[in-house]
Copies of this chain bind each other. A is one copy, B any other.
Amino acid sequence: MEFEQFFPFWGQLTAVQQERFRQSMKKRTVKKGTIISHGSRDCTGLILVDEGRLRAYISSDEGKEITVFRLLDMDICLFSASCIIRSLQFDIIIEAEIDTSLWIIPPMTYKSLMEESAPVANFTNELMASRLSDVMWLVEQIMWKSLDKRVAAFLLEESALEGSDTIQMTHEMIANHLGTHREVITRMLRYFQSEEIVRLSRGAVRLLDRQRLEKIAG
């Protein structure tokens, strides 16, 4: 594992700091469906994805969900370590979408490095700005994009992530990603099917006409 490629500040740490960082990191492997962080109550630590896929989502009191962003190989998540930044005041749930191996950096190790090192603190700034940009993009999607566009974009994104034309997901799961109701997704997918854009089967959606999906997604 090459720390430099994950942490651009690596070369600016002292040998002692590097050693402290390296010693504190813990490798974990989690099964699909594992909840790694429940939000601000937990303060698990920073998560660095080695291989796999995590989903960050929020959920309402009634159990409705919407995906805020996903973490792929080499992505780093800060929100599972919300105790290191006082003003991070929201609950985001981090769940393994597939079997995932990851590194956990204990919150107090990271916090002490942030306090000592401007490069670490500025890296944290970039991480947070990047997530904030994701969330602003999500707001724009929810506010201004019609649902057909969002479903089409989601199917294309899923297909790219899975490297397959067949997406193994129930309508309920798609609804939970997009923050809507199952019935609404079913209606939209049936419309796509009637237009021969997708073919539906139990727990799966197969993409037939990628070009039209791209056109709908805009």
Would you list which residues of chain A between 94 and 141 have a CB under 8 Å from chain B? Answer: 114-118, 120-122, 124-133, 135-140
* B115 in contact with A122 (CB, 8 Å): yes
* A125 in contact with B85 (CB, 8 Å): yes
Count of chain A residues with Cβ under 8 Å from any Cβ of B? Answer: 42
Main secondary structure of the interface of A (DSSP, over half): helix
Is there a chain B Cβ closer than 8 Å to A143's Cβ?
Answer: yes
Would you list which residues of chain A between 140 and 184 have a CB under 8 Å from chain B? Answer: 140, 142-144, 179
Query: With A62-B144, A64-B143 in contact, do A114 and B118 touch (Cβ < 8 Å)?
Result: yes
* B85 in contact with A136 (CB, 8 Å): no
* A87 in contact with B137 (CB, 8 Å): no
Residues of A whose CB lies within 8 Å of any CB of B are 58, 60-62, 64, 66, 68, 85-90, 92, 114-118, 120-122, 124-133, 135-140, 142-144, 179
